[in-house]
């Protein structure tokens, strides 16, 4: 199961503080919950993050699992890489990606 963190929605973005979360280390990943939706957020390098929609493209289940650096849908086992690309079905469509920025210890997901 992915750790769950709260994202702060403001305007057209969701902000997530990194300190004290699994995102503090490269390779860390979380499920971000916000009023704007749910996102899968992973730290891919010291200053880069990958954000994708956490709703499976197969039957709209929320993706909550991980196996190494692969996201796993709990409903039917679809697997996605950190960029949201389908690695194993039954899903056939990739997850939507969102641009991110990292400033002053906070990741911002642009919607």
70, 76, 88, 99: the catalytic one is: 76
Which of 2.102.10.10, 1.10.8.420, 3.40.640.10, 3.40.50.1970 is the CATH number of 4-104?
2.102.10.10
pLDDT-derived band at 102, boundaries 50, 70, 90: very high
Domain boundaries, the chain: 4-104
Residue 58 is a catalytic residue: no
Total-model pTM: 0.96
What is the C-alpha separation between 90 and 82, in angstroms, rounded?
18
Q: What was the pLDDT predicted at 78?
A: 98
DSSP designation for 21? S
């Amino acid at each position: 199961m992915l750790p769950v963190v709260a994202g702060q929605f403001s305007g057209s973005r969701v902000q997530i503080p990194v300190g004290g979360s699994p995102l503090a280390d490269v390779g860390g990943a979380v499920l971000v919950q916000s009023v704007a939706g749910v996102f899968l957020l992973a730290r891919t390098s010291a200053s880069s993050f990958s954000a994708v929609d956490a709703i499976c493209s197969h039957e709209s289940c929320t993706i909550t699992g991980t196996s190494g650096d692969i996201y796993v849908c709990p409903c039917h086992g679809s697997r996605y890489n950190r960029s949201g690309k389908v690695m194993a079905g039954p899903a056939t469509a990739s997850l939507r990606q969102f641009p991110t920025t990292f400033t002053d210890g906070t990741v911002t997901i642009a919607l």
